[in-house]
Amino acid sequence: MKEEVFQMRDEVVEVLRIIGSPYRMTQNRELKEKEKWPSQTLLVSESNKIPVLYLESAKRIWKDDPELQSLYDRYRLLHKRMLNDIKRVASVLRKSTVEFCIFKTLKPYPFVGSDIDILFFRNSELERAYNVLRSMGYTTTTLDPDNVTLYNPDGGLRLDLYREASVSRIRYANKNQLRDYLTSVLIDGVEVPSLSPEIDLLVSMGHSLFKEQMFTLADFYHVIHRFKAFSKKEISRFIGLAERQGYGFTVNLTLGLASTLHELVYNKSIPVFEQVNRSLAFKGGFLISKEKIKLADTLELPHKYCFLTAAMAISTKLVTSGNLARQLSSLLDPIFFRNFFERLVWHITRETY
């Protein structure tokens, strides 16, 4: 068991050194001196949702490795298909004059997800979008009170249509506040409605903690690349919405883990993380310390949050959400509570998502 832990540590460190950090641009000499690409590290990148970013970086070091080039081409094609799906759906919905945004999906690096997340600001607009997409051949796979999942008939990514940014009826983001930060990005000339980068990062932090209950290298690189590019104004907006959304615990936990990992591997702190965390009031500091110690000791990634951490996040959000009565009434329903608890345990015990 100890050998497996040490092997995991070594492979995680190797992946992080291969990719590097925008806060420390120098490439490790040891990597350049290695004659052969350490192919066993690919699995770490895949389980952490960063294979394109990883292979892109590895290809720059081991330029003449044909296996690397083949793997990179395959994952790059998946990334391109994902962007094509996003463009197609965005174009169709914009023509239908539906107000929506793609959120939690686009990253500041090449990313291959398993679905496309779409948030709607009025129930009638979700219903209209649902009917339009169904007419295109999409089929319903999941129908929950706050979201609908559609299957792509062409074998592309699933679509998650959100009435609320929630998991098991617990809203981890107030969509009315998010509406103030609507913007758009251009993908190959196609305008795609989205949230501003600092707000999308905040919501992604909530999603990783509340729904996935784990911290991955995809989260790590999302955080450090965004913060490296943020202006002071964007950081101020990030802090302001974090306060209004009751995200003090979520932000301190996520930035704490990102900082711990960065210091361990790159031997360099990120002062802006400390500044942001000092700006936000939160409870549960002892749980954050436990999670940071656990990550530092094992370097096991994806890093799964313990039950108490997930419970703290959920209870904090229930109090600050403004919908406490609605959500408590759901939890008091015995059938809903059993399903909610089973899903919570499953999320906590799985290896990745």
Domain limits, the chain: 2-77, 78-349
- Asked if 111 contacts 102 with a C-beta cutoff of 8 angstroms, the reply is no
> What average pLDDT score do residues 35-52 get?
92
Does the predicted TM-score (pTM) go above 0.85?
yes
Contacts of 55 (CB under 8 A, 6+ apart): 42, 45, 68, 71, 72, 75
Q: How far apart are CA 176 and CA 39, in angstroms?
A: 46
Give CA torsion, residues 255, 273, 238, 227, to 10 deg.
-90
State yes or no: pLDDT of 220 exceeds 70: yes
Q: What percent of the chain has pLDDT over 90?
A: 65
Query: 146 and 162 in contact (C-beta within 8 Å)?
Result: yes
Confidence of residue 4 (pLDDT cuts 50, 70, 90): very low
Whole-number Cα distances in Å, 345 to 25, 204, 208, 213, 305: 40, 21, 15, 10, 11
Question: Which residues, including other chains, have CB under 8 Å from residue 53's CB and lie 6 or more apart?
Answer: 19, 45, 109, 110, 111, 221
d(CA 188, CA 226): 21
How confident is the model at residue 5, as a pLDDT?
45
pLDDT at 169 over 80: no
**Residue 30, pLDDT above cutoff 90:** no
* Residue 266 identity: Y
Look up residue 21 and give its DSSP letter.
B
pLDDT score recorded for residue 153 = 82
> In this structure, which CATH number among 3.10.129.10, 3.30.460.40, 3.20.20.140, 1.20.1740.10 belongs to the domain 78-349?
3.30.460.40
Query: Residue 171: what pLDDT?
Result: 84
Residue 73 has pLDDT above 60, yes or no: yes
CB burial readout 180-203, b (16+ within 10 A) else e: ebbeebebeebebbbbbbbbbbbb
Instruction: Give the chain's mean pLDDT.
Output: 87
The values of phi and psi at residue 108, to 5°, are -80, 20
- At 86-117, the pLDDT tens digits run 999 999 999 987 899 999 999 999 999 889 99
| pLDDT level of residue 118 (50, 70, 90 thresholds) | very high
Q: For residue 98, what pLDDT is reported?
A: 82
Tokens of 316: 């904090």
Structure tokens at 69: 């080039």
Q: Could you tell me the two tokens for 32?
A: 């350049």
Spatial neighbors of 254 by CB under 8 A, at least 6 apart, are 205, 208, 209, 215, 219, 223
Is pLDDT of 343 > 70? no
- pLDDT of amino acid 166: 85
CA 285 – CA 244 distance, rounded (Å)? 20
Asked which of 26-30, 104-108, 128-132 is least confident by mean pLDDT, the reply is 26-30
Q: In the numeric block, which tokens belong to residue 9?
A: 């540590």
Give the count of beta carbons closer than 10 Å to the beta carbon of residue 342. Answer: 10
Rounded Cα distance between 280 and 274, Å, is 10
| pLDDT band with cut points at 50, 70 and 90 for residue 290 | very high
Residue 262's pLDDT is what? 97
Q: Give the helix ranges, DSSP H, for the chain.
A: 2-19, 29-33, 42-47, 51-61, 66-95, 123-135, 175-178, 197-207, 217-229, 232-245, 248-266, 271-279, 285-298, 307-320, 324-332, 334-349
Residue with tokens 């239908």, as numbered in its chain: 96
